[in-house]
Amino acid sequence: MNAESETKSVPENQSEKKCASCGKWTRWSRQQDDVCEHCGAELSTHLKEKEARAERMKSYPKGLFPVKEHDAVLIKMGKYSINTIHVIFTAIVSFIVWFITFVVT
Ligand SMILES: [Zn+2]
């Protein structure tokens, strides 16, 4: 395993961060607009990652059977029912596993 962490502490209450772009250590004051002093790349990729994750979640299929716009009404109802039963079933199984793990033993 890599023992080198992403950040390391330096005196004067400042941090250093390893640049994701060039791989060199650069000063980092934990601000959104901090840039690498070697290559000028942005250091705070946190917000961008958050946005990308939110974008991925939107395109992620919802439920066991994703309901599509062009599905027939009966198919839509069937899919909604199966998705609902799936969620309830998952909740019950999760509860049973939790119950056996923490209450029975
Ligand atoms: Zn850099």
Say if residues 35 and 27 touch (Cβ distance below 8 Å): no
User: Any idea where the domains of the chain sit in the sequence?
Assistant: 1-60, 63-105
Q: Strand, helix or coil at 36?
A: coil
Whether this prediction's pTM lies above 0.75 is answered by no
Q: How far is the CA of 26 from the centre of ligand 1 (A)?
A: 7
Over residues 66-101, the pLDDT tens digits come to: 888 888 999 999 999 999 999 999 999 999 999 999
d(CA 30, CA 13): 11
Over residues 5-60, the pLDDT tens digits come to: 556 555 556 788 888 889 999 888 877 788 889 998 888 777 778 888 888 887 77
Q: How far is the CA of 24 from the centre of ligand 1 (A)?
A: 6
Q: Strand, helix or coil at 77?
A: helix
Over residues 46-60, the pLDDT tens digits come to: 777 888 888 888 777
Phi/psi at 55 (5° precision): -65, -40
